[in-house]
């Protein structure tokens, strides 16, 4: 009888200790975790400089469909032939057959394939006498009678149109994007600092103890911990 009572008392004591431990975890004050994180301030000078870098008289509007004549592709492109190699990334290829070579041939290959955003195509074309005669100076090393291999990885299919927005309208858009990027970058740094601080305070399994999925950790830390933003 006494032995059974003793076992019951031991179990009750262990249960009480477990409850106290769980309470201690649940009651942890995450505001006690404090970090200083740099935050970039986007100035008007930053916006003006970016505007000068990227401003074009045209705008590119995404097209949900295959490449076809009259549109453009934003792509990674390479041209290779005996004694010649040419590569570009984020290059705008206008899909027109009435243009200088080798882009007329490249345009035909892209249109014939009906390629869409995210797809890659490989094709080749002979450097004929007509192509040789119409080559841009940059491609003068393409020899007549050789075959040029072309590889195109299409990032986007776009419609290129004149941009009628004013400089101020363009700068407003650029400013919004730069500030959003600055916030995202600052939060990434803050989360990295908070992760380290949380592990130091609670151990490596703290997120699991809180039943947090990995993708929920950043928002949890930013909401519950103390982040002191330092303008940079």
The tens digit of pLDDT for each residue in 151-191 reads 999 999 999 999 999 999 999 999 999 999 999 999 999 99
Are 90 and 140 part of one and the same domain?
yes
User: Is 19 among the domain residues?
Assistant: no
The pLDDT of 64-71, averaged and rounded, is 95
User: Is 16 among the domain residues?
Assistant: no
Are 113 and 65 part of one and the same domain?
yes
In the predicted structure, residue 24 carries a pLDDT above the cut 50: no
Q: How confident is the prediction for the chain on average, in pLDDT?
A: 90
Are 72 and 33 part of one and the same domain?
no
Are 51 and 64 part of one and the same domain?
no
User: Is 143 among the domain residues?
Assistant: yes
Boundary (domain end) residue, out of 132, 162, 192: 162
User: Is 228 among the domain residues?
Assistant: yes
The pLDDT of 179-207, averaged and rounded, is 95
| Beta carbons within 8 Å of 178's beta carbon, 6+ residues apart | 42, 46, 47, 50
The pLDDT of 206-217, averaged and rounded, is 92
Are 158 and 144 part of one and the same domain?
yes
User: Is 181 among the domain residues?
Assistant: yes
Are 37 and 192 in contact by the 8 Å Cβ rule? The answer is no
Are 93 and 32 part of one and the same domain?
no
CA distance 69 to 92: 14
Boundary (domain end) residue, out of 162, 187, 206: 162
CA distance 230 to 124: 55
Give 48: exposed, middle or buried? Use CB within 10 Å, 0-12, 13-18, 19+.
middle
User: Is 10 among the domain residues?
Assistant: no
CA distance 21 to 91: 59
Are 225 and 28 in contact by the 8 Å Cβ rule? The answer is no
pTM of the complete model beyond 0.75: no
Are 168 and 183 part of one and the same domain?
yes
Segments forming the whole domain that contains residue 230: 28-57+164-232
The pLDDT of 194-222, averaged and rounded, is 93
CA distance 205 to 194: 14
Are 143 and 201 part of one and the same domain?
no
How many domains would you assign to the chain? 2
* pLDDT at residue 97 in the model: 83
* pLDDT at residue 18 in the model: 55
* pLDDT at residue 191 in the model: 96
Boundary (domain end) residue, out of 162, 195, 221: 162
Name which residue leads in pLDDT, 28 or 184: 184
Are 107 and 197 part of one and the same domain?
no
The pLDDT of 127-155, averaged and rounded, is 94
Are 63 and 119 part of one and the same domain?
yes
């Amino acid at each position: 009888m006494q032995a059974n009572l003793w076992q019951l008392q031991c179990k009750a004591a262990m249960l009480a200790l477990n409850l106290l431990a769980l309470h201690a975890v649940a009651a942890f004050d995450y505001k006690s975790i404090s970090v200083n994180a740099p935050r970039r301030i986007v100035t008007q000078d930053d916006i003006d400089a970016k505007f000068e870098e990227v401003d074009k008289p045209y705008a590119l509007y995404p097209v949900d469909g295959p490449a076809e004549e009259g549109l453009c592709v934003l792509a990674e492109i390479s041209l290779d032939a005996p004694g010649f190699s040419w590569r570009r990334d984020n290059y705008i290829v206008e899909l027109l057959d009435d243009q200088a070579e080798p882009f007329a041939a490249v345009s035909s290959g892209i249109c014939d394939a009906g390629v869409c955003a995210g797809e890659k195509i490989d094709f080749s074309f002979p450097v004929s006498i007509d192509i040789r005669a119409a080559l841009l100076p940059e491609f003068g090393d393409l020899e007549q009678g050789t075959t040029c291999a072309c590889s195109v990885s299409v990032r986007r299919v776009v419609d290129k149109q004149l941009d009628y927005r004013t400089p101020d309208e363009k700068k407003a858009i650029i400013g919004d994007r730069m500030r959003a990027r600055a916030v995202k970058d600052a939060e990434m740094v803050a989360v990295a600092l908070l992760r380290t601080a949380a592990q130091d305070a609670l151990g490596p399994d703290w997120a699991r103890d809180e039943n947090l999925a990995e993708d929920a950790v950043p928002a949890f830390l930013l909401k519950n911990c103390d982040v002191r933003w330092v303008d940079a």
